[in-house]
Structure 1
Amino acid sequence: MKNLRKPFPVLQQYVYLNTAASGLLSEKVFDFRQEHDLDFLVSASILKEKQGKLLAGVRETVGNFFNCAANRVALVPNFSYGFNTLLEGIEKGKKVLLLDEDYPSINWAVTSRDFEVNYAVIDENLEEHIETAFKANTPDVFAFSLVQYISGIKLPISFLSKLKQLYPETLFVADGTQFCGTEIFDFDASGLDVVITSTYKWLNAGYGNAFILFSESAPNKIAPKTSGFNSLQGKYKAQEGNFLGKFEPGHQDTLNYGSLKVALQLLKDVGMKVVEERVKNLAGEAKEEFTKMNLLEDRVVKRKIHSSIFNLQGDDKLFNQLRSNDIICSQRGEGIRVSFHYFNTEEELEELLRVLKGSV
């Protein structure tokens, strides 16, 4: 097997279990960023003349990676910008279903607008709660995270696909920030209408870049009001009208979007089958051990499907003890969040368990 850790120098210093907070910068992305800014330093506007071609290449790379036509891929600076732009394109008074305690960038953005909002509870019976909410008051929009940022609870794509078949008129809008990059994801086959993803976590693409994937029918339900210079320019925007342009007003950052292209190429080189298998195996081993130690919430223990994000029972003392042992994690909610990516190892899990057991 390839040395999956070599592209990430920080792994030589730490047991890095914090991808759910911030992904790593790879040497390949770093090299691209240096070369890009060197080109800008010596060529200025000549580099910007190539912007259209570069951004078209990023769009095509994203589309190929997630199986979404390039003319349905928007490039945005982060999830919040893309999601708020989308919400501005939805009529006031629409019924929106959210998940209680979901990521604030979703729930706050919706509740700050004039929508009729309902919630489904996040617990071991999450799917049943969602189905009940749909039957009781079918939403116009269902907005949710594919993976919960605190607990790591994960909604299976298979469940969402079946639900969409039952409620084809509901607009399914998913936050893929804690999901994309952890397993193979076929957007067109998923049945989802919109997936918005910040890429600084599991895709390891750095900050300042995100993308939106749209189904063919999604533009029929969204009418964004945003506009600006460049909204109607570019290979795909010019050919397909200005829907994508509504999400991309103004000048785009070729440094950050170019970083996304390089990061996706690295994942492609590793192979998403390898990534998915390693993440799944590490998550399974971790959940088994954490369950034995009574470190997980009951709602997580009782679910069959889970992500590689775990919130462990622990206080400031334990968190500081982990950091003093060079184990990088985060305090989230009422516990300590750890997360495992494909470059993590079984030995790192053992090191984590050693410190945890020593603290009991």
Structure 2
Amino acid sequence: MKNLKKEFPVTANYTHLNTAGSGLLSETLLDFRQNHDLDYLVYGSVIKDKQDKFISGVRKDVGSFFKCHPSRVALVPSFSIGFNFLLDALPSKTKVLLLQEDYPSINWPVEARDFEICYAAIDEHLEENILQAVEREKPQILCLSLVQYVSGVQIDFEFLKKLKENFPDLIICGDGTQYCGVEEFDFEQSGLDILGASTYKWMNAGYGNGFFLFKEAMQEVLKPKAVGFASIRGLYKEENEHALIGKFEPGHIDTLNMGSLQAAIQLVKKVGYSNITEQINTLKKQALEAFASRGLLDDFVTQRKVHSSIFNIKGDQKLFEKLKAKDIICSQRGNGIRISFHYFNTESDLEQLLKLI
């Protein structure tokens, strides 16, 4: 992996092990944003005339990137906004399966509505817990993070695929905020019916952008209530006033923020997904072995076959302050310190962390 300190200037001054908290601003993204606002400054509302075409281009790139037809790609400011639209598209008393202690932006909106709710535990038997809950409770929809924000536990995608095959009527909705951007993902071939994500973390796309992807069958299942003038503006919406994505886009779509997502996708293509995944997997393997040998991880994490590049290591406030003082950026989550590795990190970043620990 080439040195990326120039592309991500923060890494020249800090050891950034906090992508799970926030991604970085790249030079590629900065160039786009500066040029976009310069055009706005010079041309004013003239650039508005090109908005629909521009947004259609972003939609096409997002769809191509995640293997989903662009007519089923909704562009949203954040996962939370899109997810609330989604929940309002479900009938009251819908039975929803959640994971205990999953990300608040998933569980809280569900728990705030008039749904029947059941739960599965997050531990080394996560997939078996979900299967048993589906068999026992017979939920209509499963909503879960693909990667857990506290522990870094990652769901087995093959399990989700088999789950969908065995329970075809079960709607499976995944939050990819802590996943999208670390490896290639084929939405059409996955077990997911719906994939949503904010893209300011692992996509390094800045704030104010995200997406929701839908399988074809969701057009008939979901009945969103949100609507606005933009619901029928642009490609795939003008020819179908009842288009599902239009109900997730009732208002103006910010070309600066959505263009930032497009620029971030272009950077990933430039670096190469294979290079990104290889670097993340290398660091993930080394970190898992190092943390486990020092007794820094919960037992259930080391017992799982699948894990992300997010780790919650055992550490108190004193250790956290020590790391901050040495310019290592991380987060306190749960009962420990959350460390996360992305492709701009290096083996020396891990070595420096281990020396301080």
TM-score (norm 2): 0.98
| Conservation of the 8 A alpha-carbon contact between 2:75 and 2:209 | yes
| Conservation of the 8 A alpha-carbon contact between 1:71 and 1:240 | no
- Superposition deviation, residue 240 in structure 1: 4.2
- For 1:240 and 1:290, locate their aligned partners in 2 and report how far apart those are by CA, in whole Å: 53
Q: Secondary structure at the match of 1:286?
A: helix
Partner residue, 1:67: 67
Q: Secondary structure at the match of 1:196?
A: strand
Partner residue, 1:105: 105
- For 2:5 and 2:341, locate their aligned partners in 1 and report how far apart those are by CA, in whole Å: 13
- For 1:165 and 1:240, locate their aligned partners in 2 and report how far apart those are by CA, in whole Å: 30
| Conservation of the 8 A alpha-carbon contact between 1:4 and 1:270 | no
Amino acid at match of 2:290: E
- For 2:271 and 2:9, locate their aligned partners in 1 and report how far apart those are by CA, in whole Å: 17
**Structure 2 counterparts to residues 256-271 of structure 1, below 5 A:** 256-271=257-272
- For 1:170 and 1:239, locate their aligned partners in 2 and report how far apart those are by CA, in whole Å: 30
| Conservation of the 8 A alpha-carbon contact between 2:127 and 2:156 | no
Q: Secondary structure at the match of 1:48?
A: helix
**Structure 2 counterparts to residues 283-322 of structure 1, below 5 A:** 283-322=284-323
Report whether the alignment pairs 1:255 with 2:256. yes
Partner residue, 2:152: 152
Q: Secondary structure at the match of 2:180?
A: coil
CA deviation map 1:202-234 (0-9, x unaligned): 000000000001111112221000011111110
Compare 262-271 and 240-249 and name the one that shifted more.
240-249
Partner residue, 1:53: 53
Report whether the alignment pairs 1:192 with 2:192. yes
Amino acid at match of 1:303: R
- Return 5+ residue gaps in structure 1 as ranges: none
Partner residue, 1:130: 130
- For 1:270 and 1:5, locate their aligned partners in 2 and report how far apart those are by CA, in whole Å: 13
CA deviation map 1:300-323 (0-9, x unaligned): 111121000000111110000001
- For 1:64 and 1:147, locate their aligned partners in 2 and report how far apart those are by CA, in whole Å: 22
- Superposition deviation, residue 243 in structure 1: 1.5
- For 2:74 and 2:5, locate their aligned partners in 1 and report how far apart those are by CA, in whole Å: 31
Amino acid at match of 1:92: S
- For 1:66 and 1:148, locate their aligned partners in 2 and report how far apart those are by CA, in whole Å: 20
Report whether the alignment pairs 1:119 with 2:119. yes
CA deviation map 1:33-87 (0-9, x unaligned): 1111111111111011110111011101101111001111000000000000000
| Conservation of the 8 A alpha-carbon contact between 2:161 and 2:192 | yes
| Conservation of the 8 A alpha-carbon contact between 2:72 and 2:244 | no
- Superposition deviation, residue 6 in structure 1: 2.5
| Conservation of the 8 A alpha-carbon contact between 2:58 and 2:258 | yes
Partner residue, 2:177: 177
- For 1:339 and 1:189, locate their aligned partners in 2 and report how far apart those are by CA, in whole Å: 28
Amino acid at match of 2:100: D
Amino acid at match of 1:329: C
Q: Secondary structure at the match of 2:231?
A: coil
Partner residue, 2:336: 335
Amino acid at match of 1:163: L
CA deviation map 1:218-268 (0-9, x unaligned): 122210000111111101211344321110011110000000000000001
- For 1:292 and 1:224, locate their aligned partners in 2 and report how far apart those are by CA, in whole Å: 49
- For 1:276 and 1:188, locate their aligned partners in 2 and report how far apart those are by CA, in whole Å: 20
User: What's the % identity of the aligned pairs?
Assistant: 56
- For 2:56 and 2:6, locate their aligned partners in 1 and report how far apart those are by CA, in whole Å: 30
CA deviation map 1:99-132 (0-9, x unaligned): 0000000000001001110000000000110010
| Conservation of the 8 A alpha-carbon contact between 1:171 and 1:221 | no
Amino acid at match of 1:292: S
| Conservation of the 8 A alpha-carbon contact between 1:88 and 1:224 | yes
Amino acid at match of 2:9: P
Cα distance change on mapping 1:240 and 1:188 into 2, 3 Å: farther
